Structures are given as structure tokens and as C-alpha cells.
Amino acid sequence: MTRRTPAIVTVIVMLCFALSPEGTAAQTMKSVVGTYTAVSVPAFGDHPRGTLILTPDGHYSIVLTRADLPKIAAGVRIKGTAEENKTIVEGSIAHTGTYTIDDGGKAITLHVETATFPNWNGTVQKRPLKVSSDTLSYTVTTPSAGGSPNEVVWRRVK
């Protein structure tokens, strides 16, 4: 073995990563762990607000809202008008549970323990996953509001 061998091996490994599809290696739980902020969520308007937290021990938490949710005029959460409550329910979702990274890093599976949309409680949702640099995105195949699948995009908080 020559002195150049380690350098050559390093260059080959770097090229493998650079030439992999989309320039990223297969995702693992370790590689996606972190806190993310919402970038694009079609159901929540142009400037969605929200946070996704993926922990090293496999727990997750998601909170998403529209940026333009109305304040409740009464100033008390449980005293919203029918219209205020309708607008808030249509413009927000939150759920927590556990997650796994599956299909060789191409899917995230959410095991929903509790959600503001109770129909999701106890469900398992597998979503196609893409990670590139500090951006994580997945496709919600059965949105809670109905309709067609949509892509949710998150950016890692630094």
C-alpha cells in the first residue's frame, strides 16, 4: 500500500456521495434528527408557520398553521365563535408520535399517537421522503383536509 492509497480512497468515497441520486446519501434516523421550520405547505397558504421535531430516539412532533389565523375576539380559547373556530380548524393541524425511516431512506413512517384531527389517532402513515442539504420534504398522500396528495417542505433550523 502506497502513501497515496488513503487519499485515493477518500476521493473515491467523496465522488460516490457527490454522484449519488439528488446528491444525497440514503437517509437514516440519525441524518434527519433535528428541528425544522415550515417552508411550503399547500394547504396552509403562502407563508405557513410550523415546526417539525425529529428526536434521536424516534419521537416526532408537528405543529402547522396558516399565518393568517384570526385571533379569538373573546380572548379565551374555548369561547371562539363558530366562524373563528371553523377558520382555526381549517388552518391548523398538530400531531405527535413516533417515526421510522424506511425503504432505504426513501420514506418516513409516522406512527400517530395523538392529533388535532382525531381520525389520525393510532394510524400509521408512510410518506415518500426527500432530503437535500438542509431541506426535508415528504408527500402527504391522504391529507386530513381531503383532496389530492401534497408535498410538505421543511428547512432545518440552524
CATH number at residue 104: 2.40.128.50
Query: 18 in a domain, yes or no?
Result: no
- Full residue range of the structural domain in which residue 77 is found: 24-156
Q: What is the pLDDT of residue 132?
A: 93
Q: What is the pLDDT of residue 48?
A: 98
Q: Which residue has the cell 377558520?
A: 87
Q: What is the pLDDT of residue 19?
A: 37
Query: 17 in a domain, yes or no?
Result: no
Q: Supply the DSSP symbol for 79.
A: G
Q: Could you give the CA distance from residue 141 to residue 81 in angstroms, rounded to a whole number?
A: 32
Q: pTM here?
A: 0.83
Q: Which residue has the cell 400509521?
A: 124
| Length reported for the chain | 158
Q: What is the pLDDT of residue 63?
A: 98
Mean pLDDT by 10 residues, the chain (158 residues): 47 37 68 97 96 98 97 97 97 98 96 98 97 96 94 97
Q: Which residue has the cell 410518506?
A: 127
Q: Which residue has the cell 400531531?
A: 95
Cell of residue 77, nine digits: 380559547
Q: What is the pLDDT of residue 26?
A: 77
Query: 141 in a domain, yes or no?
Result: yes
Query: 9 in a domain, yes or no?
Result: no
Query: 49 in a domain, yes or no?
Result: yes
Domains in the chain, number:
1
Query: 125 in a domain, yes or no?
Result: yes
